[in-house]
Amino acid sequence: MKFFIDTANLDQIREAQELGVLDGVTTNPSLMAKEGIRGRDNILKHYVDICEIVDGDVSAEVIATTFDEIVKEGEELAELHPQIVVKVPMIKEGIKAIKYFSDKGIRTNCTLVFSAGQALLAAKAGATYVSPFLGRLDDISTDGLQLIAEIRQIYDNYGFETQILAASIRHTMHVVNCAKIGADVMTGPLSSIDGLLKHPLTDSGLAKFLEDAKSFN
C-alpha cells in the first residue's frame, strides 16, 4: 500500500518524507489556498518545490472545467516535473480529458469520486488513480469504506489497472481499514500516518526495558 500525504504544507511533507515511508503527495485548490499560495507562477513553483522534497507522485489539480481548458492546463502541469500527476474532476469534460491524457501517456488522478459507477467510468477512461473521498461520505452518514470495497471488487473483476487512491482519510483507522480492503494508496493528513505508531503497551514496555537496562551499568 502506498502512503501519500494530503497537504501543500512543505514542512509537513518534509516531516513525512523523513520518516521514510512516504510515496507521494496529493494537493487540491483548498489545500494550496490554505498555505497562502497566490498567483499562477507561485502555484506552479510550489508544485515543483513539493516534487523536489518527495520521490513519488505529486497530484496537481486543474481548475478548468471544459475539455480544451483542462487539456491546456493539464499539459502545462505535466510539463512542470516528471513526478506530476494531473488531477482532474469527475465530470463529463474531465472524463474526456482523462481519456485524452491517457492516450498521450500523461498520468491522471480522477478526483471527487463518490460512487462505484464514477470509479468504473474513470477506469474505462484510463485514469492512473481514482480518488474516492471516504471521509466526506462518512460525514454524511454514508459508508465510505463500503465504496472502497465496491471499487476494489469491480476493478478486480475486470483487471483494471487504475489504482484506488483512498482519499479524504481522516484518521488512522481509515488507513488500517483501507489496507484490509486492498486500496492501492491512501492519502491523508500527517496525523493519520503518525497515529499508526501509537500503542500504550509499546510505550510502557519500552519504559520497563529502559529501566531494567540500567542494571547493566
**Which of 70, 208 has the CB closer to ligand E4P?**
70
- Distance, CA of 47 to CA of 84 (rounded, Å): 8
CA atoms within 13 A on the CB side of 56: 18
Among 119, 187, 192, 193, binds ligand E4P (CB under 6 A): 187
Q: Is 208 a catalytic residue?
A: no
Among 108, 131, 162, 192, binds ligand E4P (CB under 6 A): 131
- Distance, CA of 129 to CA of 161 (rounded, Å): 9
Q: What is the largest CA-CA distance in the chain?
A: 72
Q: Is 26 in the site for ligand E4P (CB under 6 A)?
A: yes
Backbone angles phi, psi at 188, to 5 degrees: -155, 180
Q: Is 192 in the site for ligand E4P (CB under 6 A)?
A: no
Helix (H, G, I), strand (E, B) or coil at 164: strand
Among 3, 5, 6, 47, binds ligand E4P (CB under 6 A): 6
Q: Is 147 in the site for ligand E4P (CB under 6 A)?
A: no
Residue 186 CB, nearest distance to ligand E4P (Å)?
9
**Beta partners for residue 59, in sequence order:** 26, 85
Residue numbers at the binding site for ligand E4P (CB under 6 A): 6, 26, 28, 111, 131, 133, 135-136, 167-168, 187
The catalytic site residues sit at 87
